[in-house]
Structure 1
Amino acid sequence: MNTSKQLKLGSILSYAQMILSVVISLVYHPFMIRLLGKSEYGLYSTVASIISLLSILNLGFNAGYIRYYSKYKQAGDTENIYKLNGLFMIIFTIIGIVSLIGSLFLSFNLKWIFDKGLTVNEYATAKILMLLLGVNMALSFPMSVFTTIISANERFVFLKVLGMLRTVVSPLVTLPLLFLGYRSIAMVSVSLGLSVLTDFCYFIYVKKVLKNKFIFHGFEKGVFKSLFIYTSFIAINLIVDQINWNIDKFLLGRYKGTEVVAVYAVGYSLYQYYMMMSTSISGVFTPRVHHLVNETKKDSFEQRKVLTDLFIKVGRVQFLILGLVASGVVFFGQPFIYYWSGVGYEESYFVVLLLVFPASISLIQNVGIEIQRALNKHKFRSLAYLVMAIINLVLSIFLCQRYGAIGAALGTAVSLVLANGLIMNIYYQKACNLNILAFWGSILRLSLGLIIPIACGILIMQFIDLYSIWALLLFIIVYTAIYCASMWFIGMNAYEKDLLLKPIRKIANKIIKKK
């Protein structure tokens, strides 16, 4: 299959994998959380969040591989590609060993980490979970070299198909074990087994299909130093992400116990699905952003206009989708969480609200990240987000001890508003040649379409018992219809309407031609 077909099909499969992952998670979660129980689900979430902190050791080297691979491939330098493979295998094997040592240290010092946050039985389970997840993390580093090589060779179809298979197989194997009475240890063991199996498939593909080799000597002078400089700001972003999205669970586990972690984890899971919807849209526009930057004069009025136009177009489309979901969470979130997770997760509703609304500022501006990179002005964002992460950490330490899961989410919310709502918008206006006032003016005009749905949502909450499953499903459909109609007639412009009508017309024309 040629490169263009790989890219096209890979893109389609990427969306399919995202949808499949969300659907399976939504169906699988209620069974998993009930079979594990609140305490053990919280324990699993806490341990997983601690081990995931070790992923910081990656330092963004994968991005560096693709950069150098492209350089050597363009020059037809096969030998240096093989040397690059060898260098990265050495780097990631060392990182894997360090990661394993780190996870062993953590597993044997759990009381230092959690203090009095766990019971005696939870400490015993946590130790086994930490070891299994630690082995999984340690193996993932050297094995990631194979997935990076496959990506660099643009063999996206193989990657996505294997990823989709794993997404489907994992719950099919795990659920029967949970029903038989096995708990989080069995769940993590299945995950480890599937990781080893898929990693072996990647290894075979690289060796037998791509016929790549590994040379472990004679590396080009200065490559490692150059790689380290190139990936340093990517590494900062990795650190920031880990602090923002995993430290809360660790703090809650230490100060409040596993049941409070479970409450936070339910809210965070729903936020993750929300975030995935945004990133899947903005990712499509990455090549377009770089093309516009390259064909216009730096800091010119023309560049300001074309980049702002794209920024507004993409932001409005994201707002249309995220506005439906975010407002839906407000009106239907409480009964949905009740049916999805069970009794005892009432505070998860407030957790998801505190994460969704502040994050929405950056999510509708996701294409701005690519604009920064294309303009080579992304360093400021990394440093600003590092400051944000430190603020989040300090606030969360104090707030989670007093207010539990809601306090931890509030600390994250405040830092998100400061960084995304204030600092980054000023930076976009001043340094990235974007008209932010025009952007928010356009979003404000679009948001007029929310007035009718919000009024209807308030009436539904006041007069309808949404804790009846059929009433909940019916009024979610009714609300969605009202939202779509209101946005169509009040909010959307001709371009957005055409985006929706074009594929409908194409399908209709094909049906007419067949007849």
Structure 2
Amino acid sequence: MNSSQQIKLGAIISYIAIVFNIIVGFLYTPWMIKQIGKSDYGLYILVTAFLSYFVMDFGLGQTIARFLSKYKANNEPEKINQMLGLTSKFYLLINGLILITLIVVYFFIENIFIELSPVEIEKFKIVYLIAGGFSLISFPFMPLDGVLIAYERFVLLKLCDIISKVGIVILMIIALLLGYKLYALVAINAAIGILIIGIKFFYLSKKTPIKIDFGFKSKKLLGELVKFSFWVSIIGIAQRLLINIAPFILGIVSGTEQIAIFSIGIIIEGYTWTLAHALNGLFLPKVSQLDTQKNNLHEITNLMIRVGRIQLIVMGLLMIGLVVLGQEFVVLWMGSGFSESYYVILLLILPGFITLTQEIAYTYLFVINELRYRAVIFVGASILSVIISFILAPHYGAMGCAIGIFSGTMLCHVIGMNFIYWKKIKLEIPRFFKECYYSLIGAFVLTLSVGFLLNYFLPAETLIRFSCKVVLLSLFYIISVWFTGLRADEKELFKSVLLKLAAKFKNK
């Protein structure tokens, strides 16, 4: 396939994977929590969030993708092999340091999570060992995604996502029905992760000309990699401090039940983020090409508007639906014990109404190597979030952490980053907001109004009635966006997609 076909098919597979993940997640998650218990689920979330601080690729994955794209465009295969050899050895060195760190931390778990009971501490240690072992195995293979992106193998990348999601759900259902609980959840996630690594590695070794040169040494290239990845690494750490640290804070000051309540917000925020980033990485080559052209900032803003509007249209229904129907949904889905999760969800997702439409702007920062701006903003947001969370969480639990995250995100990610995009990077941000949001606001307000009226006249006490409300609200949203929000070219785009799908279905 050529690049355009890879992007289109990769995007379609991404959305299929997302829809599957959301539907199965909504059906599977409450059943799974019921099977293993609220406390054990809180422990699982705590372990995965805790380990994420020790096992990250320090920005090297994205850095590798950037360098490989450049070498591939210049037809320099020997440099690709040399760089992969150099980075492979660097990853192994970091992996050794992570191993030492995880061993030391293991002996201080009781002193870190003082709110956990002795039984929960013992379970935490076992899960920590399983998940930590998988993390150490998988860490050296983190660059695989960057290599696949550089070689524009988007279809395989997205197919692996589907295989992973389907495999985990099927095996977990079997394990839980057989009576296995928390430890099976962690072990199955690890086993599927190793399988996916094997698939990607085998594909790259057979379908690409890569021959890793482990003997290559270059202090200059290593310095360039470290210098470029430094700011990406800072961003990665700050992102984890923003949301993933919340279970860690709650584990210290509140306990596992509040972690479980907060985790529902993480799940929904994760679905929203995944939906918006289904096209993530697919436009890196395109933005790189635009950067070399005349009047590039205007053209990049145009691409930012086109992609941003598609993301906004897709996400608009999800966000409006969560605002209007979210509380009923959480109670019907998870039970009244998780009703507080609704407010956590709102505080986590609402800033994404702006931030999740600006992926092209972030990609451009990456292309021009100006990530320091985003890194500083992210660090500021994370520090503010952690301070507010530690102040509020002892009294308000999960809500306290959510308020901290919302405050940091709005002040830094929304206001701060858009100031950077506009004044420092010189993207046409006022035009972006005008052309991306203006024509769609009316449809959003109308849909919100209809949603609140549905809530008032048709309170949902059963899943059937709730489903009817979802269908009615979705139909109204689609109609109002189509007639009041979409541009002519966007209507043609959606029509062409629907016609192609209809033709394929008819042929079958």
Q: TM-score, normalised by structure 1?
A: 0.89
Q: CA deviation at 1:276?
A: 1.4
1:87-115 CA-to-partner distances (Å, cap 9, x unmatched) read: 22221122222222222222221112111
The answer as to 2:254 corresponding to 1:256 is: yes
1:273-300 CA-to-partner distances (Å, cap 9, x unmatched) read: 11112122565554444444432246xx
Match of 2:107 in 1: 108
Q: Which segment drifts farther, 176-185 or 229-238?
A: 176-185
Distance across 2 between alignment mates of 1:73 and 1:291: 13
Which residue among 383, 387, 395 is the counterpart of 1:402?
395
Which residue among 332, 345, 359 is the counterpart of 2:352?
359
The answer as to 2:470 corresponding to 1:471 is: no
Q: Which amino acid aligns with 2:491?
A: K
Distance across 1 between alignment mates of 2:294 and 2:475: 42
Which residue among 426, 429, 448 is the counterpart of 2:442?
448
The answer as to 2:166 corresponding to 1:168 is: yes
Q: CA deviation at 1:208?
A: 5.3
Q: Which amino acid aligns with 1:325?
A: L
SS in structure 2 of the partner of residue 175 of structure 1: helix
Match of 1:137 in 2: 135
The answer as to 2:183 corresponding to 1:185 is: yes
Which residue among 415, 426, 438 is the counterpart of 1:422?
415
Q: CA deviation at 1:75?
A: 6.5
Distance verdict in 2 for CA 1:18–1:321, change over 3 Å: closer
Distance across 1 between alignment mates of 2:330 and 2:146: 38
Q: CA deviation at 1:321?
A: 2.3
Give matches, 1:206-217, under 5 Å: 206-207=204-205, 210=208, 212-217=210-215
Distance across 2 between alignment mates of 1:123 and 1:429: 49
Q: Which segment drifts farther, 79-88 or 339-348?
A: 79-88
Distance across 2 between alignment mates of 1:425 and 1:8: 29
1:52-79 CA-to-partner distances (Å, cap 9, x unmatched) read: 11133x2112233334445555676655
Match of 1:62 in 2: 61
Q: Which amino acid aligns with 1:113?
A: I
Give matches, 1:38-57, under 5 Å: 38-56=38-56
Distance across 1 between alignment mates of 2:301 and 2:352: 21
Distance across 1 between alignment mates of 2:5 and 2:432: 35
What is the alpha-carbon root mean square deviation over aligned residues? 2.8
Identity among equivalent pairs (%): 30
Q: Which segment drifts farther, 21-30 or 242-251?
A: 21-30
> Contact 2:66–2:367 at 8 Å: present in 1 too?
no
Which residue among 375, 383, 388 is the counterpart of 1:382?
375
> Contact 1:84–1:219 at 8 Å: present in 2 too?
no
Distance across 2 between alignment mates of 1:71 and 1:493: 35
1:358-417 CA-to-partner distances (Å, cap 9, x unmatched) read: 222211222221233345443212211111111111111112122110110110000111
Q: Which amino acid aligns with 1:13?
A: I
Which residue among 119, 122, 125 is the counterpart of 2:120?
122
SS in structure 2 of the partner of residue 35 of structure 1: helix
Which residue among 362, 375, 388 is the counterpart of 1:369?
362
The answer as to 2:97 corresponding to 1:98 is: yes
Report how many residues are paired: 506
> Contact 1:240–1:385 at 8 Å: present in 2 too?
yes
Distance across 2 between alignment mates of 1:511 and 1:17: 19
Which residue among 234, 237, 240 is the counterpart of 1:239?
237
Q: CA deviation at 1:235?
A: 0.7
Distance across 2 between alignment mates of 1:232 and 1:390: 19
> Contact 1:108–1:127 at 8 Å: present in 2 too?
no
Distance verdict in 2 for CA 1:20–1:457, change over 3 Å: closer
1:333-365 CA-to-partner distances (Å, cap 9, x unmatched) read: 112112322231011000000011122221122
Q: CA deviation at 1:330?
A: 1.6
Distance across 2 between alignment mates of 1:359 and 1:494: 26
Q: CA deviation at 1:266?
A: 0.6
Q: Which segment drifts farther, 366-375 or 101-110?
A: 366-375
Question: Can you give the 5+ residue segments of structure 1 that lack an aligned partner in the other structure?
Answer: none
Q: TM-score, normalised by structure 2?
A: 0.90
Q: Which amino acid aligns with 2:104?
A: F
Match of 2:226 in 1: 228
The answer as to 2:484 corresponding to 1:486 is: no
Q: Which amino acid aligns with 1:411?
A: G
Match of 2:342 in 1: 349
Q: Which segment drifts farther, 71-80 or 482-491?
A: 71-80
> Contact 1:332–1:466 at 8 Å: present in 2 too?
no
Distance verdict in 2 for CA 1:308–1:474, change over 3 Å: same
Q: CA deviation at 1:191?
A: 1.8
> Contact 1:106–1:130 at 8 Å: present in 2 too?
no
Q: Which segment drifts farther, 339-348 or 214-223?
A: 214-223
Q: CA deviation at 1:257?
A: 0.2
Distance across 1 between alignment mates of 2:72 and 2:319: 45
Match of 2:25 in 1: 25
Distance verdict in 2 for CA 1:508–1:158, change over 3 Å: closer
Distance verdict in 2 for CA 1:497–1:228, change over 3 Å: same
1:123-154 CA-to-partner distances (Å, cap 9, x unmatched) read: 00000011111111111112335555455444
Q: CA deviation at 1:178?
A: 1.6
Give matches, 1:239-318, under 5 Å: 239-281=237-279, 284-297=282-295, 303-304=297-298, 306-318=299-311
1:448-482 CA-to-partner distances (Å, cap 9, x unmatched) read: 22333222211221222212111000011001111
Distance across 2 between alignment mates of 1:222 and 1:188: 41
Q: Which amino acid aligns with 1:91?
A: F
Distance across 2 between alignment mates of 1:423 and 1:247: 22
Larger CA Rg, structure 1 vs 2 = 1
> Contact 2:85–2:216 at 8 Å: present in 1 too?
no
